[in-house]
């Protein structure tokens, strides 16, 4: 039944090229699926606020439904708010705009071959798809954050409402899928994100450097990383902690390092565009985040053959790192344990090499080939 | 779907005499997200037109639905399902009953799991839909279906085969069923229990998924079994036991070890679940039924593994024994106690320091073990917490009057013959918001030794004024006062007939909503009244109301009503009060000289706030003392104003106070006015990590941590007892408060050996019956918590052994956290006292000749007394290293024997002199390190600094 030339796959996102993790994922998976012979269209609901540049020669087509961002949804929450004519008029206009946008989706879906698949990567975008006629095409919905994160956000009710009827709802991890199933969604499965890079050679492991990279924000836990580092750097005077990234917390972190008396062994190296190079210049990777979804930097570090120390802050982390096998996990916030793990790796080159080699091998299950094969199975399943 | 494509899944829909609902079941399969499936309807030769309906469905969906009919009725579900297995074409098989439905994604989820794992068997979550309760859903053993997983043998998780006995929530590889020749047994009911057990055990790969796939529609049977279906019931019971025997035989074939483990778990379930179901109905049965029941069950109980009794509650074991003994007189109240946990329904029997259910059968050690109910704590529970069995002996209607008589069990003689007794019957709507519409009926009482007999009568039809909607169910509660202490119980119906016990009633909403008040047996065998309709008009209007409530507009109305109620709650909730505090009370003037005291969030009159308060009184400081209490105000000082924590008065007192003094924390959401001075005495910690040193605090969000910061920044002064506190607590909390290095006011009395507390100590000794020359040993462990909250307290050493070895020389005081339950067995009463309820620990410390603790901060206080200390740290690694961490290693610093198990502890206790003499230096070092500011003058120093009593005293110094 599958046409040999591949399927039409419509990936519906809030926007096509908004700066951020989700569109980076969409671009990546679209390229991978295109390379596997499928015809991909990324459909954005609205234009991007801040555009990211994914290059000129895209192997997929794009489409954006609105020319400008629609006004936010409005509903009378108190009886007297019904009298707010301005808001009601705006809402009516918004409804009309939504119908028009949904009509465009309907036209696209009706014209598609029967073996096409619609992938809705964000729940906000799903509101438009729900309004459209999907013409019998199966809808695969996705949520790119952990169950706990959704639970704590305004998206929770919408995921339950709009995603419950999708043919399949894919979460990032097995554990998140289970959490949603226990919560009552019956269509859940999981789909990891593909590894963003595939270095031909691993790091040589000679540099006495611990690397960490990411936005310098509270949530990313660099304060905890510095606390941990302060506990053990005295025992490893020839080692450096190198932190790549910028962000609002930078000044606080520099001050913290100075207060802890460890400024000399901490290198704030700024943002880098050469992730692979930055990782390969180190021998241990540290991820001290308080919250994560499915951290790509961890995949990248493992792909470079680095052993990692991370806080076990989300199912995504547990899914990627197997504690004691291809990395070491600490209870989130337990800086003593995190420091002990760093200490263990810094003190033992053989252990670093062993965990690093396992990491590079194990992370293969998130290789583009493995993830594309998983997608093919999902496409096949929803057409059964 | 093309006819020659092999279906991925065949759903076998079994129907018998259910033509009406069959299409609903079939439609739930047609609506599946999986398209490539076939539906095989198998009719068990129904008398109605089920088969015709099936054929019509098949004709509508050729190639997708097939209908077959058995040549004659097979009598149970097994026959048609077996026919389904034979005729199915799909690679996988699922079963659906005609009165149930599948979730829309069921087949796809099952197929995905089966293909991904290569499983023979996939099993998933089931919900029960209670059709008679507005489709309320309950989960079927959800704990088995929390995570998805794969296993190669169900013996990895025997609970699956024991508890999940359904065959319909599963997807079977068809070749697996054929290869293993798995078929349902025929000719017996409960056929699916055996089939499910066989499938679980035969499968060589099993996948479990937490997705809901099956909706099991349940209509609860509320009517009492009639004589006509009694024979049928006995047959059902015999069938059920027969299936159990066959499953036991199947288990026995799994090898000795695996078979035994399965059997123990299954027997556990039998005691916990099956036996309860049967025993619950016994009071309503006649002697003949009970006889047949006992014949069948006693036999089965004989081969239950004794280990299984370890896994079930005490009352399960009692009921099992009494069933096997056919002792109805003792069993029926025991069943009542089983259904209503915590209820004592017989006088009980005390022998050799243990409490037994009855005085019979105690000749065998095994029976003694089963009948031993000491740990239920009936003998130590305060009367107001004890629920006494109260058996209805007669219930009749005389004219307009309903007459009650009954009998209350005088458990362990807790109701003395000379006690002053009064009682009322309270009859009120179950719904909380309408409870105030209840009535009270006077009761006449007669003490009869082992029971208290009572009678009551009321014209209920005239006295109650039901609304007519929302108050259908009325509870009956018997409130008995024994010398002023009230104990409340429901009325156990037993075999008292309820038929015809009803009176006409006129609800506020008029006769069309309901017209009579009818006695009914509740779920747990207790009497309740139901508002009911007799006339056709009332029944019709009830029908209408029911339909309205279930309609969309009815839902909206209900939602609005609920919203209105929650608004009412909001107006009296803590948030509103905090708002009132901020918007209203903070604008009121500060009242000079008012001091608000609180200890442990109002739980106690204790600790440093108590000693500061008493010092202020002693020194003659002019002030208005206000104490906050939560729960009951007993034990709080009579010369202070008492405010309930969380009340408006409390917030107002805090807003206007000149001083706040507490040891833990006032509500975190209220601000402190700059004119108010907050003295935080803290309650002592030097071992366990605190504040920012605790991982759980570090992983909080920025907003949460900012809230904590605001709370801590309210402290103006912080009392410490050592430099160690300043290095740990003060740093970890990042305190901006001025540190007061004066020692803990509560410990002044320890430093001067209780000189000022002589009277209080004497009183305590009398209260605790410390009236001989035995030494007093205090056991004060810390409160344990895990990720799920508090861990239930269990005495971590053997009290009987303690009694044998030390009972002649020692009296043991046990102090657990106030949240923990602990009851002293009667056999240990001579040498054990429960002191958990004593507010203030300081007099206890002064009374004790030695201390046993683990990690409690009481060790730092007790060290001041320079008396022997024993450390019983049976879980040191787990406690200190798992998550929280400690500031020092107790193993090295402990100023007394550090023991890891009961044997070590008892050996150390035996060598008391060594513990006293060998650790004298260590104790002094310990005080120097962790309590060097505790010099006995803390309260004075604090009071003089903040509440100087005039120039005369200043000069006098």
* A121-157 tens-digit pLDDT: 999 999 999 999 998 999 999 999 899 889 888 899 9
Whether residues B780 and B910 share a domain: the answer is yes
Whether residues B372 and B392 share a domain: the answer is no
Residues of the domain holding B738: 583-747
Whether residues A174 and A255 share a domain: the answer is no
CATH number (domain holding residue B18): 3.90.550.10
Phi then psi for residue B228, to 5 deg, are -65, -35
Distance in angstroms (rounded) separating the CA atoms of residues B890 and B881 = 12
Work out how many domains chain A is built from and give that number: 2
- Cα angle B607, B612, B618 (rounded to 5 degrees) comes to 130
Distance in angstroms (rounded) separating the CA atoms of residues B69 and A232 = 77
What count of other Cβ atoms lies within 10 Å of the Cβ of residue B596? 27
Residues of B in contact with A168 (CB under 8 A): 33, 108
- Residue A384 has its nearest CB partner, among B36, B145, B211, at B36
Counting one residue from chain A and one from chain B, the pairs whose CB atoms sit within 8 A come to 83
Domain boundary, last residue among B376, B409, B438: B376
ipTM value for the complex: 0.89
User: Quick check: B36 and A189 CB within 8 A?
Assistant: no
Residue A202 placed within a domain: no
Res. A3: pLDDT tops 60: no
Nearest residue in A to B2, CA atom: A1
Token couple for A172: 């990032």
Chain A CB within 8 Å of residue B34 CB: yes
Output the CA–CA distances (angstroms, integers) from residue B398 to B426, B442, B457, in the order listed: 20, 17, 10
Residues of B in contact with A333 (CB under 8 A): 694-699
Least confident of B16-20, B760-764, B868-872, B875-879: B875-879
CATH number (domain holding residue A371): 3.40.50.2000
Whether residues A257 and A357 share a domain: the answer is yes
Whether residues B365 and B419 share a domain: the answer is no
Whether residues A180 and A266 share a domain: the answer is no
Q: Which residues pair with B351 in a beta bridge?
A: B354
Q: What is the pLDDT of residue B330?
A: 84
Chain A CB within 8 Å of residue B560 CB: no
User: Quick check: A186 and B103 CB within 8 A?
Assistant: yes
Residues of B in contact with A188 (CB under 8 A): 109, 211
Distance between B112 CA and the closest CA of chain A, angstroms: 7
Question: Averaged over B373-399, what is the pLDDT?
Answer: 86
What count of other Cβ atoms lies within 10 Å of the Cβ of residue B768? 17
Reported as a single tens digit per residue, the pLDDT across B93-144 is 999 999 999 999 999 999 999 999 999 999 999 999 987 777 788 899 999 9
Distance between B467 CA and the closest CA of chain A, angstroms: 29
Token couple for B904: 């070590």
Chain A CB within 8 Å of residue B103 CB: yes
Confidence of residue B775 (pLDDT cuts 50, 70, 90): very high
Residue B354 placed within a domain: yes
Residue A270 placed within a domain: yes
CA nearest neighbour of B406 among B452, B375, B360, B351: B452
Chain A CB within 8 Å of residue B699 CB: yes
Token couple for B782: 């810390």
Contact indicator for B132, B219 with CB cutoff of 8 Å: yes
Residues of A in contact with B708 (CB under 8 A): none
Residue B560 placed within a domain: no
Nearest residue in A to B213, CA atom: A186
User: Quick check: A167 and B108 CB within 8 A?
Assistant: yes
Whether residues B767 and B871 share a domain: the answer is yes
Residue B948 placed within a domain: no
Place of tokens 């936005």: A215
Q: What is the pLDDT of residue B947?
A: 94
- Residue A381 has its nearest CB partner, among B108, B696, B885, at B108
Distance in angstroms (rounded) separating the CA atoms of residues A20 and B306 = 62
What count of other Cβ atoms lies within 10 Å of the Cβ of residue B692? 17
Whether residues B258 and B191 share a domain: the answer is no
Contact indicator for B9, B53 with CB cutoff of 8 Å: no
Domain boundary, last residue among B498, B517, B534: B534
- Residue A167 has its nearest CB partner, among B33, B210, B702, at B33
Whether residues A130 and A239 share a domain: the answer is no
User: Quick check: A384 and B103 CB within 8 A?
Assistant: no
Whether residues B743 and B761 share a domain: the answer is no
Whether residues A46 and A150 share a domain: the answer is yes
Whether residues B188 and B57 share a domain: the answer is yes
Q: What percent of chain B has pLDDT over 70?
A: 93
Whether residues A177 and A268 share a domain: the answer is no
Least confident of A308-317, B61-70, B338-347, B504-513: B504-513
What count of other Cβ atoms lies within 10 Å of the Cβ of residue B82? 21
Chain A CB within 8 Å of residue B105 CB: yes
Confidence of residue B545 (pLDDT cuts 50, 70, 90): low
Res. B621: pLDDT tops 80: yes
Distance in angstroms (rounded) separating the CA atoms of residues B339 and B524 = 6
In the DSSP assignment, the letter for residue B668 is T
Residue B78 placed within a domain: yes
Whether residues B302 and B161 share a domain: the answer is no
β-pairing verdict for B349-351 and A328-330: unpaired
Nearest residue in A to B9, CA atom: A384
- Interface list for B 136-155 with A (CB within 8 A): 142, 145-148
Distance in angstroms (rounded) separating the CA atoms of residues B407 and B429 = 24
Instruction: Name the strand (E) or helix (H) holding B209.
Output: strand B206-218
CATH number (domain holding residue B801): 3.40.50.12580
Is the four-CA dihedral B519, B522, B528, B533 of positive or negative sign? negative
Residue A34 placed within a domain: yes
- Residue B213 has its nearest CB partner, among A186, A290, A335, at A186
User: Quick check: A177 and B103 CB within 8 A?
Assistant: no
Contacts of B715 (CB under 8 A, 6+ apart): B678, B680, B735, B736, B737
CATH number (domain holding residue B689): 3.40.50.11820
Contacts of B587 (CB under 8 A, 6+ apart): none
Contacts of B245 (CB under 8 A, 6+ apart): B300
Contact indicator for B99, B206 with CB cutoff of 8 Å: no
Residue B944 placed within a domain: no
Res. B571: pLDDT tops 90: no
Chain A CB within 8 Å of residue B104 CB: yes
Whether residues A352 and A372 share a domain: the answer is no
Confidence of residue A270 (pLDDT cuts 50, 70, 90): very high
- Residue B148 has its nearest CB partner, among A178, A311, A332, at A178
Distance in angstroms (rounded) separating the CA atoms of residues A60 and A62 = 7
Distance between B32 CA and the closest CA of chain A, angstroms: 9
Nearest residue in A to B103, CA atom: A186
Residues of A in contact with B691 (CB under 8 A): none
Whether residues B134 and B243 share a domain: the answer is no
Distance in angstroms (rounded) separating the CA atoms of residues B162 and B171 = 18
Q: Which residues pair with B349 in a beta bridge?
A: B356
Reported as a single tens digit per residue, the pLDDT across B481-535 is 998 888 999 999 888 888 888 888 888 887 777 888 899 888 888 899 998 877 7
3-state DSSP helix/strand/coil % of chain B, to nearest 5:
40, 20, 40
Average of per-residue pLDDT values in chain A: 93
Place of tokens 């400024």: A263
Whether residues B849 and B815 share a domain: the answer is yes
| Chain A interface, Cβ < 8 Å to B | 138, 165, 167-168, 174-175, 177-178, 181-182, 184-189, 218-219, 224, 290, 311, 313, 331-337, 377, 381-382, 384
Work out how many domains chain B is built from and give that number: 5
Chain A CB within 8 Å of residue B310 CB: no
- Residue A186 has its nearest CB partner, among B109, B115, B699, at B109
Res. B225: pLDDT tops 50: no
Chain A CB within 8 Å of residue B881 CB: no
Reported as a single tens digit per residue, the pLDDT across B668-689 is 888 899 999 999 999 887 788 8
Residue B326 placed within a domain: yes
Distance in angstroms (rounded) separating the CA atoms of residues B287 and B277 = 18
The full length of chain A comes to 384
Token couple for A4: 């040999």
Chain A CB within 8 Å of residue B788 CB: no
Whether residues A278 and A376 share a domain: the answer is no
User: Quick check: B209 and A181 CB within 8 A?
Assistant: yes
Model pTM score: 0.80
Which of helix, strand or coil describes residue B237? Answer: helix
Average of per-residue pLDDT values in chain B: 88
User: Quick check: B104 and A174 CB within 8 A?
Assistant: no
Whether residues A37 and A154 share a domain: the answer is yes
Token couple for B475: 């509870």
Return the higher-pLDDT residue of B768 and A76. B768
Least confident of B31-35, B83-87, B132-136, B448-452: B132-136
Strand order in the sheet with A284-287: A266-268, A240-244, A209-213, A284-287, A308-311, A328-330
Distance between B104 CA and the closest CA of chain A, angstroms: 8
Whether residues A247 and A345 share a domain: the answer is yes
Residue A342 placed within a domain: yes
Q: What is the pLDDT of residue B560?
A: 75
Whether residues A30 and A166 share a domain: the answer is yes
Residue A201 placed within a domain: no
Distance in angstroms (rounded) separating the CA atoms of residues A336 and A309 = 12
Residues of A in contact with B147 (CB under 8 A): 175, 178
The full length of chain B comes to 957
Residue A48 placed within a domain: yes
Q: What is the pLDDT of residue B569?
A: 66
Whether residues B257 and B204 share a domain: the answer is no
Q: What is the pLDDT of residue B250?
A: 95
What count of other Cβ atoms lies within 10 Å of the Cβ of residue B665? 15
**Contacts for B828-836: CB closer than 8 Å, 24+ residues apart:** B828/B353, B828/B799, B828/B800, B828/B802, B828/B803, B829/B353, B830/B803, B831/B774, B831/B802, B831/B803, B831/B806, B831/B807, B832/B799, B832/B802, B832/B803, B833/B768, B833/B769, B833/B770, B834/B380, B835/B768, B835/B778
Whether residues A119 and A161 share a domain: the answer is yes
Chain A CB within 8 Å of residue B697 CB: yes
Chain A CB within 8 Å of residue B698 CB: yes
Distance between B138 CA and the closest CA of chain A, angstroms: 12
- Residue B112 has its nearest CB partner, among A175, A181, A189, at A189
Nearest residue in A to B125, CA atom: A182
User: Quick check: B698 and A182 CB within 8 A?
Assistant: no
Residues of the domain holding A225: 209-364
Distance in angstroms (rounded) separating the CA atoms of residues B783 and B688 = 12
User: Quick check: A333 and B696 CB within 8 A?
Assistant: yes
Residue B501 placed within a domain: yes
Res. B445: pLDDT tops 70: yes
Domain boundary, last residue among B160, B190, B218: B218
Residues of A in contact with B114 (CB under 8 A): none
Residue A1 placed within a domain: no
Contact indicator for A180, A212 with CB cutoff of 8 Å: no
Chain A CB within 8 Å of residue B109 CB: yes
Report the b/e string of B271-304 with b at 16+ CB within 10 A: beebbbebbbebbbbeeebbebbbebbeebbeeb
Residue A3 placed within a domain: no
- Residue A224 has its nearest CB partner, among B116, B213, B698, at B698
Chain A CB within 8 Å of residue B495 CB: no
Whether residues B482 and B612 share a domain: the answer is no
Residue B539 placed within a domain: no
- Residue B148 has its nearest CB partner, among A174, A187, A332, at A174
Distance between B855 CA and the closest CA of chain A, angstroms: 20
Question: Averaged over B20-34, what is the pLDDT?
Answer: 96
β-pairing verdict for B775-779 and B850-853: parallel
- Residue A334 has its nearest CB partner, among B115, B148, B883, at B883
- Residue A184 has its nearest CB partner, among B212, B701, B702, at B212
């Amino acid at each position: 039944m599958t046409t040999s030339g591949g399927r039409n796959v419509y990936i519906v996102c809030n926007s096509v090229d908004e700066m951020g993790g989700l569109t980076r994922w969409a671009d990546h998976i679209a390229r991978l699926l295109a390379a596997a012979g499928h015809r991909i269209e990324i459909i954005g609901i609205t234009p991007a606020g801040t555009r990211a540049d994914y290059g000129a020669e895209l192997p997929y087509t794009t489409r954006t439904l609105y020319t400008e961002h629609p006004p936010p949804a409005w509903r009378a929450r108190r009886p007297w708010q019904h009298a707010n004519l301005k808001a009601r008029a705006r809402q009516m206009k918004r409804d009309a705009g939504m119908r028009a946008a949904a009509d465009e989706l309907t036209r696209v879906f009706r014209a598609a071959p029967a073996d096409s698949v619609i992938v809705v990567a964000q729940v906000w975008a799903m509101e438009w798809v729900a309004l459209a006629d999907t013409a019998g095409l199966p809808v695969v919905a996705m949520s790119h954050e952990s169950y706990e994160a959704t639970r704590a956000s305004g998206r929770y009710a919408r995921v339950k409402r709009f995603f419950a009827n999708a043919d399949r709802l894919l979460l990032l991890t097995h554990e998140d899928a289970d959490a949603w199933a226990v919560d009552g969604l019956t269509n859940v499965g999981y789909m990891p994100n593909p590894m963003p890079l595939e270095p031909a050679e691993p790091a040589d492991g000679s540099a006495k450097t611990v690397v960490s990279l990411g936005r310098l924000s509270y949530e990313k836990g660099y304060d905890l990383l510095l606390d941990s580092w302060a506990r053990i750097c005295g025992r490893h005077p020839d080692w450096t902690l190198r932190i790549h990234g910028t962000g609002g917390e930078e000044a606080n972190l520099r001050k913290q390092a100075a207060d802890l008396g460890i400024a000399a062994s901490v290198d704030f190296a700024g943002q880098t565009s050469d992730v692979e190079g930055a990782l390969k210049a180190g021998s241990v990777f540290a991820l001290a985040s308080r919250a994560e979804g499915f951290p790509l930097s961890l995949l990248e570090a493992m792909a470079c053959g680095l052993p990692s120390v991370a806080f076990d802050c989300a199912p995504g982390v547990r899914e990627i790192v197997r504690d004691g096998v291809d990395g070491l996990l600490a209870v989130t916030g337990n800086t003593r344990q995190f420091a002990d793990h760093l200490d263990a790796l810094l003190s033992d080159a053989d252990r670093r090499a062993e965990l690093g080699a396992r990491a590079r091998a194990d992370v293969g299950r998130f290789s583009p080939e493995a993830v594309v094969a998983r997608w093919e199975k999902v496409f096949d399943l929803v057409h059964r | 779907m093309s006819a020659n494509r092999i279906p991925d899944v065949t759903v076998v829909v079994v129907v018998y005499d259910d033509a009406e609902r069959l299409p609903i079941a079939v439609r739930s399969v047609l609506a599946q997200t999986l398209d490539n499936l076939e539906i095989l309807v198998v009719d068990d030769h129904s008398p109605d037109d089920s088969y015709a309906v099936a054929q019509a469905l098949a004709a509508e969906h050729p190639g997708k639905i097939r209908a077959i009919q058995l040549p004659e009725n097979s009598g149970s579900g097994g026959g048609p399902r077996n026919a389904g297995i034979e005729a199915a074409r799909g690679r996988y098989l699922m079963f659906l009953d005609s009165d149930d439905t599948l979730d829309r994604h069921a087949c796809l989820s099952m197929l995905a799991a089966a293909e991904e794992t290569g499983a023979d068997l996939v099993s998933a979550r089931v919900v029960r839909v209670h059709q008679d309760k507005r489709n309320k859903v309950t989960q079927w053993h959800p704990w088995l279906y929390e995570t998805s997983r794969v296993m190669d043998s169900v013996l990895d998780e025997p609970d699956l085969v024991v508890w999940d006995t359904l065959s319909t929530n599963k997807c079977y590889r068809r070749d697996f069923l054929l290869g293993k020749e798995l078929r349902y047994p025929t000719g017996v009911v409960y056929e699916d229990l055996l089939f499910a057990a066989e499938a679980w055990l035969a499968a060589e790969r099993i996948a479990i998924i937490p997705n809901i796939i099956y909706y099991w529609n349940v209509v609860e049977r509320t009517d009492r079994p009639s004589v006509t279906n009694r024979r049928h019931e006995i047959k059902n019971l015999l069938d059920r036991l027969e299936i159990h025997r066959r499953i036991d035989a199947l288990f026995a074939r799994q090898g000795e070890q695996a078979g035994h483990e399965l059997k123990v778990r299954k027997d556990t379930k039998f005691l916990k679940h099956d036996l309860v179901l049967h025993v619950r109905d016994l009071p309503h049965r006649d002697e003949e039924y009970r006889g047949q029941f006992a014949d069948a069950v006693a036999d089965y109980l004989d081969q239950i593994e004794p280990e299984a009794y370890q896994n079930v509650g005490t009352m399960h074991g009692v009921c099992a024994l009494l069933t096997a003994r056919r002792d109805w007189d003792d069993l029926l109240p025991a069943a009542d106690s089983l259904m209503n946990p915590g209820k004592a329904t017989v006088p009980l029997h005390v022998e050799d320091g243990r409490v037994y259910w009855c005085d019979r059968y105690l000749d065998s050690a095994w029976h003694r073990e089963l009948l031993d109910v000491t740990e239920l704590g009936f003998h130590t529970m305060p009367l107001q917490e004890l629920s006494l069995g109260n058996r209805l002996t007669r219930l009749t209607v005389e004219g307009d009057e309903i007459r009650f008589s009954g009998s209350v069990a005088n458990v362990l003689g807790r109701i003395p013959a000379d006690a002053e007794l009064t009682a009322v019957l309270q009859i009120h709507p179950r719904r909380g918001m309408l409870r105030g519409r209840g009535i009270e009926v006077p009761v006449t009482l007669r003490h009869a030794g082992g029971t208290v007999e009572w009678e009551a009568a009321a014209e209920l039809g005239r006295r109650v004024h039901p609304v007519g909607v929302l108050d259908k169910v009325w509870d009956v509660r018997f409130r008995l006062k024994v010398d002023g202490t009230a104990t409340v119980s429901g009325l156990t119906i037993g075999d008292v007939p309820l038929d015809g016990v009803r009176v006409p009633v006129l609800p506020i909403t008029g006769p069309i909503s309901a017209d009579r008040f009818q006695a009914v047996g509740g779920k747990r065998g207790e009497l309740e009244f139901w508002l009911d309709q007799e006339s056709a008009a009332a029944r019709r209007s009830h029908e209408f109301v029911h339909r309205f409530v279930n309609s969309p507009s009815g839902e909206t109305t209900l939602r609005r009503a609920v919203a209105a109620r929650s608004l009412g709650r909001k107006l009296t909730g803590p948030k509103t009060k905090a708002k009132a505090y901020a918007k209203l009370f903070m604008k009121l003037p500060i009242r000079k000289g008012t001091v608000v005291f609180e200890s442990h969030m109002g739980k106690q009159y204790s600790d440093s706030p108590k000693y500061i308060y008493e010092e202020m009184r002693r020194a003659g400081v002019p002030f208005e003392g206000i104490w906050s209490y939560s729960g009951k105000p007993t034990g709080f000082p009579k010369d202070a104003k008492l405010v309930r924590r969380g009340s408006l008065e409390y917030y107002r007192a805090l807003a206007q106070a000149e001083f706040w003094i507490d040891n833990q924390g006032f509500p975190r959401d209220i601000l402190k006015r700059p004119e108010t001075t907050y003295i935080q005495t803290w309650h002592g910690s030097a071992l366990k990590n605190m504040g920012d040193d605790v991982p759980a605090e570090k992983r909080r969000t920025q907003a949460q941590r900012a809230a904590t910061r605001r709370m801590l920044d309210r402290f103006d002064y912080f009392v410490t007892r050592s430099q160690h506190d300043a290095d740990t607590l003060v740093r970890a909390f990042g305190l901006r408060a001025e540190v007061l290095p004066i020692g803990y006011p509560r410990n002044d009395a320890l430093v001067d050996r209780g000189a000022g507390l002589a009277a209080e100590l004497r009183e305590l000794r009398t209260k605790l019956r410390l009236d001989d020359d035995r030494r007093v040993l205090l056991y004060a462990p810390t409160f344990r918590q895990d990720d799920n909250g508090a861990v239930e307290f269990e005495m971590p050493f053997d009290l009987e052994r303690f009694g044998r070895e030390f009972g002649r020389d020692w009296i043991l005081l046990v102090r657990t956290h106030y949240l923990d339950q602990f009851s002293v067995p009667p056999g240990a009463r001579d040498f054990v006292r429960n002191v958990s309820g004593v507010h203030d620990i300081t007099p206890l410390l002064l009374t004790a000749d030695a201390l046993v603790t683990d990690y409690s901060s009481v060790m730092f206080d007790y060290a001041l007394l320079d008396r022997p200390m024993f450390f019983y740290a049976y879980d040191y690694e787990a406690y200190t290293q798992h998550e929280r961490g400690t500031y020092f290693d107790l193993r090295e610093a402990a100023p007394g024997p550090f023991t890891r198990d009961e044997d070590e502890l008892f050996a150390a206790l035996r060598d008391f002199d060594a513990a006293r003499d060998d650790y004298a230096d260590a104790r002094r070092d310990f005080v120097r390190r962790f309590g060097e500011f505790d010099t006995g003058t803390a309260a004075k120093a604090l009071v003089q600094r903040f509440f100087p009593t005039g120039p005369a005293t200043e000069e006098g110094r």
